[in-house]
Structure 1
Amino acid sequence: MNSLCHYCQHNLCIHRVPIFSALNQEALLSIVPLIQRHRYSKGELILCEGDAVDSLMIINHGSVKAYRITPDGREQILYVFSEGDFFGEANLFGQQKANYSVEALEEVFTCSLTKEKFEILIREYTEIALRIIEELGRRISVMETSLQSMGVRSINARIAALLLEYQDKFSVVTPEGTELHLPLSREGMANSLGIARETLSRKLGQLETKRIIRTLNNKTMLVLQPESLQKLAGYSE
């Protein structure tokens, strides 16, 4: 198996993965032979809710959405994972089945470690297990905050918080402002917020009227006043 790939730019892809960031070069090189690489097309289902999972999947390039289907048939988006994020960890610490589905939002390249190989790694490098526990703790905290906010935070605050989350992960700074490359459609964003698409469109229109954001196209917008989003989200006074 080739230890290099196009998106590594002739460097080990695991260099960019936070759970491996505490390891030295020698340790990283020892991991390379254990990794399997996969490519997925936009819209391809990578993992289906209820499937047996035997690998930790790490995103090397692209982004995916993790979601569940509600009893009334709606798609409930739980996470958007991008480069350096991982999923499929549930079965590595037990015999659980996948508790959400994962779909590629664009062309995606992943690196995977089977449960057996993962167990070998964490026995030798306990730092990896600690980093995974830290990340899972962060996700639980984010999910709890999100669930709480649906009941107590205004729709404007939830939308602002989502845009700020995207700003952290899917943006580039331009002379005009921070350019967001939205990973989800308007429908997907609305689903993740638990609101109707029409409500989201109306609220985004209001932000645009106030010149807080500017829509460039369906997948791109400029954040013109990030401090206003911070205030709307309740992150600043």
Structure 2
Amino acid sequence: MEEEEATQKMTSSYKGDSVIFFEGDMGNEMYIIKSGEVEIIREMGDGEIVLAKLGENEFFGEMALFGDPKRSATVRAVADSELLVVNKNMLETQFKKVPDWLVTMIKTIAQRILTTTRGLKINFPVNIEYSILKSLILLLSEYGTHEKKGISVNLALVRQEICNIVGISTDEVDDWLKKFDFANLIEVIGSQNRIVIVDEERLQKFLSYLLLISPKRESAEEIIDKNTMISFDRLHKLIALKT
């Protein structure tokens, strides 16, 4: 009876289309869906993309309990929803009811997931910017379609394939795509789930620039004139400053 009362106190209700938390918010609790439905979304370009939809008995925000308080995406109620809010104290209370070895295993698995989602870096041939943009160009050549504005490719495909090719998390891919969009190297149209390359030649030259400023500069594909080099130096600094 006491446990039921405690659960009731930890339950929060959300109307359809209301936001539970925003990407970038700090939090120290996770949520279990008792009823209703929520969607996990990220802002991309001029719109947003839905990463997942979750329903009854599913949960989200769990990494806040295991060392990563920054929310990596926005969560919004699709329909009227009742959520059980679980904070660290409540979780530790529940842990006391199970064997120590199981608690250790759960925490270890959670820590491994946290490490993975932060992106296990591999030895990039030049740097992460080059690897992502080079992968994007390969995807454009394979799956891109020509349109009046330029060459476009499916955004969801790009996100997943770059994760696989480069070995970083989707959060990191999204962050880099936002930076490249900000620098006008690409155009992310989230509302249409696509990426457009308006000037492929400029993008190719920027790749050569990244080679020139890297330890592998001797393998640069082409010579870049001084004015272009200065322009790309500024652009590179702009990308680095973008958070």
Work out whether the TM-score is over 0.5. Answer: no
User: What TM-score comes out, normalization by structure 2 length?
Assistant: 0.41
